[in-house]
Amino acid sequence: MLAQQLVNGVLLGATYSLFALGFTLMFGVLRVINLTYGFYFSAGAFVALWLTKQMGLGIWLALPLGAVAAGVVAVAIDWLLLTRLRWRPTAELDSLMVTLGGVLALYSVMTAWLGPDIRRLPPGLISADALVWGGLRVTMAQLLILGATIVLVSALLALMRFTRLGLAIRAMAEKPDAAGLMGINTARTSALVSFLSGCLAGAGGVLIGLNFNAIQPYMGESMMLRGFVVIIVGGLGDIRGALIAGLALGVIEVLTAGYVASGLKEAVSFAILVAVLWTRPQGLFGRAVVRRA
């Protein structure tokens, strides 16, 4: 029973990690608090829903396409709302207010358009089989989550560590002005970072939709608290920190739901957030301002 819960927790946590990776990338590099981020999660899930239901695509195509669509949405929203605020001295407060209003507007438009009801992915989208091994059950959906997370996280780490774009992103995260002086097109790099983080949020949305088979407009909103917990525990801009903290949060939530009360999950997340902020504002793993890849 406990072992099963741990497995479920890690797999749930994997999607939190994905979601938080995009969040930490966006915060760490673009240095704005973008509260529309949760919307990309919902957007990815809805695009995948539409692709599987209306267009009859399989999950193998719907997942990447949903992620890419969310990335495009992220670039568009970032460009629309934040371009003019980005390098102002008051950028943090300005972006907080603009995106707080922006995300409410986005959710309400989405709800007006698509309705508030919970939607289900088409039956049989993914095999209902499960691997059973010594009493542990891992469903195909969970395996997909695990596989997709490993692929995406490895790809992101490799991108940051071994590519020219990754070098530009790391430079920009640390000193945007100096990066510009090197000849890096910071506006374009910002857009690419928005795209990447939108993709990660979107992929997270598709996978959570698949895991719980429930998709509705505000699904991204409840993820935002988790996103904050993960980046605060893991350290702002810290990729490895986000990964570990995401997995841990998934496990904690599943254990809370299993042994305490399901309704207390959010309260526990919030308690962790406050406890870490009080005691270790630099995150559990490191320095205050790291952008480790």
- Residues making contact with another protein (CB under 8 A): 167-168, 170-171, 174-175, 177-187, 290-292
For the CB of residue 292, give the shortest distance to another protein in the complex, in Å.
8
Alpha-carbon gap, residue 140 to 10, rounded angstroms: 15
Alpha-carbon gap, residue 121 to 57, rounded angstroms: 11
Nearer to another protein, 83 or 185 (CB): 185
Are 43 and 69 spatial neighbours (Cβ–Cβ below 8 Å)?
yes
Tell me the three state secondary structure of residue 132: strand
Token pair for 75:
């670039």
Angle CA(235)–CA(240)–CA(243) in degrees, nearest 5? 90
Could you tell me the CA-to-CA distances from 286 to 32, 81, 282 in Å, in that order? Answer: 21, 32, 6
For the CB of residue 228, give the shortest distance to another protein in the complex, in Å.
23
For the CB of residue 188, give the shortest distance to another protein in the complex, in Å.
9
Nearer to another protein, 54 or 90 (CB): 90
For the CB of residue 168, give the shortest distance to another protein in the complex, in Å.
7
Nearer to another protein, 176 or 205 (CB): 176
Nearer to another protein, 223 or 231 (CB): 231
